[in-house]
A and B are shown apart, each in its own frame.
Chain A
Amino acid sequence: MGHLSEEIINKANILLEIYPNKRSALIPLCHLAQGQDGYLTPEAIVEIADLVGVTPAEVRGTASFYDMFHLEPVGKHVVAMCTNIACMLRGADELLEHAQESLDVGIGGTTQDGQFTLEEAECLAGCNNAPCVQVNHRFFGPLDNEGFDRLIKDLRSGKLKDEVPEHGVLNRVDRNYGLKATPDQVQAERDVMESAKKERLAKKSESN
């Protein structure tokens, strides 16, 4: 029994099938592994490398480029607060300051109980609800200090657990099927379409 669960391996096998090149499944597989462990563990990286057919260093090297992958453990809830221009104009800096005080943690830090990791984020495309915050990539906003404290309280009490799954779980809707258009079918169709097109072009040039 490997590190990744059977359920994840099953999902991974479908992903490996739907791309023309297995390597393309690398990032989706990292998301799946992060969904299991909350961050990308060294064990998961080795197994992803095996599945995709590259070295673990390549998986790690690719994952480290992207903000969403955590190579160290993080809190159950990653609170990402946007401070980019649109949110800044709506008081994001003040809100981030309040968040640090209220959670008693610095930017990038995790609370002692392991519940919250606080991050400063770049634009999350929620500018119509500025200042906006994502918790495990679910949107909340616009938030003021009281709204933020209420959100934290609701996350702590588990009131939002359906809306906000534990950190790492990204897409809860599965693709549980492979490609439907088989290569033979595609080839046959292409032949038909191409000869039809040739005919049309021939007719066109005739009528000209």
Chain B
Amino acid sequence: MSDIIVNKNLPIVSKRLGIEEAYKLETYLSTGGYEGLKKALQMNPEDVADEVMKASLLGRGGAGFPAGRKWSMLKPARVKYLVINGDESEPATFKDHDLIERDPHQIIEGVVVASYALGVNQAFIFCRGEFALGLERLQAALNEAYDYGAVGADIFGSGFSVDIVVHPGAGAYICGEETSLLQSLEGKRGYPRIKPPYFPAVMGLYNQPTVVNNIETVSNLPWIVLNGGDAFAAMGQDSSAGSRIFALSGQVKRPGNYEVEMGKVTFRNLIFDESYGGGILDDLALKAFIPGGVSAPWFGPEHLDLPLTQEAIANKGSMLGSGSVVVFNESTCPVKAAWRISKFFYRESCGQCTPCREGSGWIEKIMHRIETGNGRMEDIDLVMDVCDNIAPGLSWPPKQTTICVLGPSIPSSIVSAVNMFKQDFIDHIEKGKCTFDK
């Protein structure tokens, strides 16, 4: 069924996910571990940064900002920090979870490479608190790496030193937003910071210049250093270079993390090919899918043949985001799905900005009453109006009315559900019950 030619370089970032006990130093070393770091330390720091720039590596956290450019924006200063964002909490995203638990040394190696290129002497890995096993694996790997001489003072005799601290989160979706993450790392409530300054690279942790990179982003660095930025940039399509992990979940036969070359695989391949999703659960028809986490507008079956690149998806009015694809089959109630997503934002709004704090609660209430059969016909317009107050114009990308992007992400799923499945909303209201209940 599959006509995809898998690039011989693949998998890159997920190559050890299938190897048993890859989280141990011994296994890591026997599979080429710390070779990238050794090579990087022989190079000049600015040449390492150059390779990353050449690789056109886009940040893997969700915003897709080029990592090399982010690095180049780091303001020169005596004290600078590197912070790794491992607070993965976007619903249906679970790639960093796997990378942390199963290949923590690759993260540590990437952190040291980045620190060397950036001239940073203290780095933090912010790991989501709910990943108890991940925290244990990361700390154990870090202890091993210190003993091995890959972290700490005078790494491998190079005269470069960096300390790494594994920092546990404590359960808050908003802490994935970089300024909120920095607040949390400073020991405070995770309130996103007011912008400007727009970039932590100017003013970040303890008001010092700070680079914040995602777990998957730094996990790519050892390979890029070993094989060169050009080799990475040669893969992929348009500005979406290299490969990327897509987290596939929902009503597919084989949910999981799949690393694919960007642009060479379509949603249809990802969802239906035997080597990936293996088709729709219960062999029902596909109703819709979310292309990049619950903050992204939904796609319908007509979008199945889009290639997986940042541009292709953005051109059709959604986003690649965190690379998490959620599949709905025809038995799914779109009203319920949209309500559940709005409930998530309601629970996770930090409460600083009125449109998000109040709007998320309103939307959740209205959606809940439609879903449970207590809706009124005017509720459909009302919920759209509340959405419009959070992100005026309901355009994509959404207009910003709040300190961070959580608020403007709330309308995406609601607007998608109403636009794509309006008849289902009307049926719920007319029949006074969820029309998908068995």
Contact = CB atoms under 8 A, between A and B. Distances in A.
B325 to A, nearest CB: 10
Nearest to B348: A122
Interface string A132-160: 00101111000000000000000000000
Contact of A21 (B135, B190, B206): B206
Contacts of B341: 85
Interface stretch (B57-65, B244-252, B299-307, B414-422): B244-252
Contact of B94 (A63, A127, A186): A127
Contacts of B230: none
Contacts of A20: 79, 122, 206
Given A182-B153, A189-B161, A89 B187 contact: no
Interface string A154-182: 00000000000000001111110101111
A36 interface: no
Contact of B90 (A123, A174, A192): A123
A125 B88 contact: yes
A122 B347 contact: yes
A66 B296 CA distance: 25
Given A25-B187, A125-B88, A173 B168 contact: no
Contacts of B290: 85
A85 B250 contact: yes
Nearest to B81: A20
A205 to B, nearest CB: 14
A110 B287 CA distance: 39
Contact of B189 (A62, A89, A174): A62
The CB with the most chain B CB atoms within 10 A, among A20, A26, A185, is that of: A20
Contacts of A181: 121-122, 152-153, 161-163
Contact of A171 (B93, B132, B173, B188): B132
A62 B143 CA distance: 29
Contacts of A61: 189
A65 B256 contact: no
A170 B44 contact: no
Interface in B260-318: 290, 294
Interface in A178-205: 179-182, 185-186, 189-190, 192-193, 196-197, 200
Interface string B93-134: 110110000000000000000000001011000001111110
B358 to A, nearest CB: 19
A52 interface: yes
A126 interface: yes
Given A62-B188, A85-B91, A170-B129, A27 B163 contact: no
Given A181-B163, A186-B121, A186-B161, A128 B249 contact: yes
A55 B161 CA distance: 35
Given A86-B92, A170-B129, A52 B168 contact: no
Contacts of A134: 130
Which of A28, A30, A182 gathers most chain B CB within 10 Å?
A28
**Contact-residue size bin, chain A (C-beta under 8 Å from the other chain):** 35 or more
A84 B171 contact: no
A89 B184 contact: no
A24 B170 CA distance: 13
A24 B187 contact: yes
A18 interface: yes
Interface residues of B, number: 79
B142 interface: yes
Contact of A175 (B78, B79, B143): B143
A45 interface: no
B146 A24 contact: no
A83 B185 CA distance: 28
A3 interface: no
A200 B143 CA distance: 35
Interface in A6-39: 18-21, 23-28, 30-31
Contact of B249 (A83, A86, A122, A138): A86
A110 B294 CA distance: 31
A23 B182 CA distance: 12
Given A125-B128, A171-B136, A180-B146, A86 B91 contact: yes
A25 B186 CA distance: 8
Contacts of A69: 170-171
Contacts of B190: 65-66
A188 to B, nearest CB: 9
B152 A130 contact: no
Nearest to A172: B136
A63 B169 CA distance: 11
Given A66-B171, A179-B163, A31 B129 contact: yes
Given A125-B128, A175-B165, 18 more contacts: A31-B168, A66-B170, A67-B172, A68-B169, A84-B340, A85-B294, A88-B336, A89-B328, A123-B344, A125-B88, A128-B247, A134-B130, A136-B132, A170-B168, A171-B135, A171-B168, A172-B136, A189-B160
17 contacts: A19-B165, A65-B189, A69-B170, A85-B340, A122-B348, A125-B89, A125-B130, A127-B247, A128-B247, A170-B168, A175-B165, A177-B146, A180-B151, A181-B121, A185-B153, A189-B160, A196-B44
- Across the A-B interface, the 4 shortest Cβ-Cβ residue pairs: A67-B171, A181-B161, A66-B170, A180-B152
